[in-house]
Structure 1
Amino acid sequence: MNPLTPLLDRRSYSYSKLTYPGPSEEELKQLFDLVMTTPDHGNLKPWRFVVARGEEKMNKLAEVTLAMYKRQSPNGELKDEAYRAVEYLKKLPMMLFVMTDVDPDHKVSLWDQYLSAGAATQNIMNGLHLQGYGGLWYTFLANDEVKPLLGLKAEDQVAAAIAIGTPKPEFVKKIKRQSPNEYCFEWEGLGVPPTKLFS
């Protein structure tokens, strides 16, 4: 059996496809234990995590999100999709923010530190899948407007805002994946174009 099989079915689920329950306290601890295996040049741990969960906090987060949609609208008017997104957000059990916590004076480059935060995010996505949960790497809430809410320094970024819940059964299905053949190459030496790795 292919040892990677459990991860080959990982997929993202939109808000509307996620419901309660979310991860328990113990499952969150296990998830963050997995994060600690993330490649991290210099062992800096250049990431931090903030979890928003529970109906009251998710409603507050939905209000903040709606206000952000309004500010980013050219005329201040909102499309139906903005209202739908906010309503789905209210129904989520949890949102997990991944933030960078970089040291700009360290010999390890900022690029390396930012990449490590991205790798930590993917570890979370994989871990959620293995635990039986679904996640959506939501980019709208990963922007500069969120920084003050999370107490970030100017040089830090919100790497991800991950919507988390249990996938509704009717949406749990295999996805036909693209072949990796077009994206993988073998190095043939200096000055020689790489050749395809797989025929």
Structure 2
Amino acid sequence: MQQLNDTSSILALLATRKSASAKSMGAPGPTPEQLSEILRLGVRVPDHGKLAPWRFILWEGEARARFGDVLRTRWQALHPEHGEQSLSFVHDLFLRAPTVLGVVSTAQEHPKIPVWEQQLSAAAVCMNILYAATAMGIGCQWNTDWVVYDAEIAAAMGLAPHEKLAGLIYLGTPTAPLEDRPRADVAALLTRWQPS
């Protein structure tokens, strides 16, 4: 079996990249220098019009638990029937890893560049961040969950009305072995266009 997250070459990493699980991440997270490098590499993506239609929000240390209070309050408003176990789980979402990075799509209407292309650029940033962190030996996982789609949570994060959270990237040290999962059969996904 091939080693996961093989960094011996770019192609080896592409062939073996596997996210760690946010549920089993511990300290340490990336150093400030590593995080800076991850972001520097993260933004080297296709960006039609050089708009840089993305930005970042960082949760570290006590800020994770403080934001957990926001999550808990909102979840309780959405689901008043849920008990303490559910509320505690939601509160601790950002405590699963030492570093949580929000990638925000700042896409807006533009006379030449469709919003969709700008949003795709933000998704590419998320993927580059995973590659950069993995290449540095840092565990990482790109998540969404209800947090990404809730307007009140977006406001609490400081998102403007036109902004969307492309994802939350958890960064830390894996505390459990990585296990690969079945991958798509690319031959079954490929069609060859033929003229009618």
TM-score using structure 2 length: 0.83
Cα distance, 1:179 vs structure 2: 2.9
CA offsets 1:28-73 (integer angstroms, 9 cap, x no match):
111112122111111100000111111x111112212222322222
- Cα separation, 1, equivalents of 2:89 and 2:22: 9
Percent of aligned positions that are identical: 26
Q: Is the 8 A contact 2:18 2:178 kept in 1?
A: no
Matching of residues 57-68 of structure 1 within 5 Å: 57-68=63-74
Q: SS of 1:39's equivalent?
A: coil
Aligned length: 187
**Structure 1, unpaired ranges of 5+:** 192-199
Q: SS of 2:103's equivalent?
A: strand
- The equivalent of 1:118 in structure 2 is 123
Let me know the Cα RMSD of the aligned residues: 2.3
Amino acid at match of 2:30: P
Cα distance, 1:85 vs structure 2: 4.8
- Cα separation, 2, equivalents of 1:15 and 1:112: 29
Amino acid at match of 1:24: T
Q: Is the 8 A contact 1:34 1:123 kept in 2?
A: yes
- Cα separation, 2, equivalents of 1:103 and 1:178: 33
Q: Is the 8 A contact 2:53 2:121 kept in 1?
A: yes
Residue 172 and residue 69 in structure 1: after superposition, are their counterparts in 2 closer, same or farther (change >3 A)? same
- The equivalent of 2:157 in structure 1 is 150
Task: Determine which of 3, 7, 13 is the counterpart of 2:14.
Answer: 7
- Cα separation, 1, equivalents of 2:188 and 2:9: 22
Cα distance, 1:14 vs structure 2: 3.0
- The equivalent of 2:3 in structure 1 is none
CA offsets 1:125-182 (integer angstroms, 9 cap, x no match):
22221111222222132122222123222121111112221111x3234444343221
Residue 88 and residue 157 in structure 1: after superposition, are their counterparts in 2 closer, same or farther (change >3 A)? closer
TM-score using structure 1 length: 0.82
1:183 matched to 2:194? The reply is no
- Cα separation, 2, equivalents of 1:10 and 1:163: 16
- Cα separation, 2, equivalents of 1:22 and 1:161: 15
- The equivalent of 1:161 in structure 2 is 168
Task: Determine which of 165, 170, 177 is the counterpart of 1:171.
Answer: 177
Task: Determine which of 30, 48, 53 is the counterpart of 2:55.
Answer: 48
- The equivalent of 1:72 in structure 2 is 78
Query: Which moves more between the two structures, 76-85 or 39-48?
Result: 76-85
Residue 172 and residue 61 in structure 1: after superposition, are their counterparts in 2 closer, same or farther (change >3 A)? same
Amino acid at match of 2:68: A
- The equivalent of 1:25 in structure 2 is 32
Cα distance, 1:20 vs structure 2: 0.6
- The equivalent of 2:94 in structure 1 is 89
**Structure 2, unpaired ranges of 5+:** 1-7
Q: Is the 8 A contact 1:146 1:158 kept in 2?
A: no
Cα distance, 1:15 vs structure 2: 2.7
